[in-house]
Amino acid sequence: MGRPLRDLRISVTDRCNLRCPYCMPREVFGADYQFIDRSELLTFEEITRVARIISAQGVRKIRLTGGEPLLRAGLERLVEMLAGIDGIDDIALTTNGTALAPLASSLADAGLDRVTVSLDALEEEVFRSMSDTRGPLARVLEGIDAAREAGLAPVKINMVVRRGVNDHCVVSMAEHFRGRAEVLRFIEYMDVGESNGWRLEQVVPAGEILAAIEQRWPLEALAASHEGEVASRWAYCDGLGEIGVIHSVTQPFCQGCVRARLSAEGRLYTCLFARRGHDLRALLRGGGNDSQIASRINQIWTARADRYSELRSLRQPPEAGDPGVDGAAASAQAARQAAGRVEMSYIGG
Ligand code: SAM
Ligand code: SF4
Ligand code: SF4
């Protein structure tokens, strides 16, 4: 499909302190869940080596993610190592924000450029049900402030919207962040992994989210800010900032997908919905030289034909609420279970 490789997402851990039911439902990710053993995690040196090799193939942007990336001790050191790679001009972090406040300025000093904080509601109770936690909401808000003050601006805020859980908070979230330095982005709930029990009728289509906001504050479309941008951008006509919507379910963007993902144990994935990754750790630890690793990555990337979201929308009409949605969701469920897709907390969002 001629898609260049431009972005690398690096998952630094598959562990997390929250249990958002749409990502790591507690029934599945309980006390006996087998996370990746520490000895299996790529070291910072190994991650940096892969990043250096891949930057020579055209990658300019790196995003650190997880699991919760701030649970990985000494993450600032990794940021500093990545910032030292020629050709990498943008390093970002996606975090749930609960541990961000005390770390924001050292991350910025180490060379972090941007932060995205996931926040699904401002009401304690809704926040708690979206994250299945006892509510460090105030800490997340402190984290956002600390990131802005550390110069990691504009901080992006990711809100996953689930029908019947937090969809009534769309307008209040927009109201809170309008006129502030942060850029709020609404994400359609996706069928990543096998464990979240996703159903199409739980997805709030981007069009519906935009319509709810536009009713209060007129919007105008903005151009994409860079190649491979996944969010469509909208400005408030009154000049009070912008929002984004990530419509991977209702308007898939596989044609422009320029992003590879490296799992915490060193598997390279070319799609968020992949069934299997390609083991780079064996090469890294087995004495592979840089050019062998580079040609393996090149081989993996050029052979990719992934377009899961496009295929999903061919399989089932993306209009939640349509007659027949139940049947379509049931067959998608069966397809997922047969496929054994990787979990979001493992591959990184
Ligand atoms: N723990 C960090 C966080 O929550 O920001 C980083 C990892 S998390 C997997 C990355 C992003 O994926 C978050 O913004 C999260 O809301 C999003 N996400 C997780 N599961 C999702 C799903 N099923 N559909 C859409 N977005 C999802
Ligand atoms: Fe943890 Fe992020 Fe997944 Fe929530 S979305 S469970 S914070 S990894
Ligand atoms: Fe890329 Fe896969 Fe998402 Fe399509 S479904 S945009 S190929 S990650």
Alpha carbon nearest to ligand 2 atom 4, residue: 20
Q: Ligand 1 mean position to 143 CA, how many Å?
A: 17
CA–CA distance, 331 with 314 (Å, rounded to integer): 13
Alpha carbon nearest to ligand 3 atom 8, residue: 271
Compute how many other C-beta atoms are within 10 angstroms of the C-beta atom of residue 11.
30
pLDDT band at 190 (very low <50, low <70, confident <90, very high): very high
| 83 has a pLDDT exceeding 70 | yes
Q: Ligand 2 mean position to 281 CA, how many Å?
A: 25
Q: Identify the nearest ligand to the CA of 256 by its number.
A: 3
Atom of ligand 3 nearest to the CA of 274: 2
Compute how many other C-beta atoms are within 10 angstroms of the C-beta atom of residue 138.
10
pLDDT (average), residues 309-331: 52
Domains belonging to the chain, first-starting first, are 7-255 (3.20.20.70)
| 316 has a pLDDT exceeding 70 | no
Which residues line the pocket of ligand 1, CB cutoff 6 A? Answer: 16, 22-23, 65-66, 68, 94-96, 118, 158, 160, 187, 189-190, 192, 196, 344-345, 348-349
Q: Identify the nearest ligand to the CA of 160 by its number.
A: 1
pLDDT band at 326 (very low <50, low <70, confident <90, very high): very low
Structure tokens at 321: 């609420």
User: What percent of the chain has a predicted confidence (pLDDT) above 90?
Assistant: 79
| 303 has a pLDDT exceeding 60 | yes
Per-residue confidence (pLDDT) for residue 329, from 0 to 100: 37
pTM: predicted TM-score of the whole model, two decimal places: 0.92
Q: Ligand 1 mean position to 349 CA, how many Å?
A: 5
User: Tens digit of pLDDT for each residue in 222-281?
Assistant: 998 877 778 899 999 999 999 999 999 998 889 999 999 999 999 999 999 998 899 999
Atom of ligand 2 nearest to the CA of 160: 5
| 335 has a pLDDT exceeding 90 | no
Q: Ligand 3 mean position to 22 CA, how many Å?
A: 18
pLDDT band at 133 (very low <50, low <70, confident <90, very high): confident
Mutate to test the pocket of ligand 2, among 65, 140, 344, 346 (most ligand atoms within 8 A of CB): 344
Mutate to test the pocket of ligand 3, among 261, 309, 311 (most ligand atoms within 8 A of CB): 309
Q: Identify the nearest ligand to the CA of 348 by its number.
A: 1
Average pLDDT over the chain reads: 91
CA–CA distance, 318 with 33 (Å, rounded to integer): 33
User: Are the C-beta atoms of 94 and 158 separated by less than 8 Å?
Assistant: yes
pLDDT (average), residues 89-96: 97
Q: Ligand 1 mean position to 311 CA, how many Å?
A: 22
| 324 has a pLDDT exceeding 70 | no
Per-residue confidence (pLDDT) for residue 330, from 0 to 100: 40
Per-residue confidence (pLDDT) for residue 323, from 0 to 100: 28
Q: Identify the nearest ligand to the CA of 22 by its number.
A: 1
Per-residue confidence (pLDDT) for residue 338, from 0 to 100: 45
User: Are the C-beta atoms of 343 and 196 separated by less than 8 Å?
Assistant: no
Which carries the bigger pLDDT value, residue 9 or residue 253? 9
Q: Ligand 2 mean position to 24 CA, how many Å?
A: 7
pLDDT (average), residues 51-61: 96
Q: Ligand 2 mean position to 142 CA, how many Å?
A: 18
pLDDT (average), residues 189-215: 93
Q: Identify the nearest ligand to the CA of 119 by its number.
A: 1
Per-residue confidence (pLDDT) for residue 149, from 0 to 100: 98
Question: Contacts by 298-305 with C-beta closer than 8 Å and gap 24+?
Answer: 298/57, 300/268, 300/270, 301/5, 301/57, 301/260, 301/270, 304/3, 304/270, 304/271, 305/1
pLDDT (average), residues 307-316: 83
User: What percent of the chain has a predicted confidence (pLDDT) above 70?
Assistant: 93
Q: Ligand 1 mean position to 23 CA, how many Å?
A: 7
User: Tens digit of pLDDT for each residue in 24-54?
Assistant: 999 999 999 999 999 999 999 999 999 999 9
pLDDT band at 205 (very low <50, low <70, confident <90, very high): very high
Residue 247 backbone phi and psi in degrees, to 5: -105, 55
Q: Which residues, including other chains, have CB under 8 Å from residue 21's CB and lie 6 or more apart?
A: 129, 130, 132, 196
CA–CA distance, 220 with 214 (Å, rounded to integer): 9
| 78 has a pLDDT exceeding 90 | yes
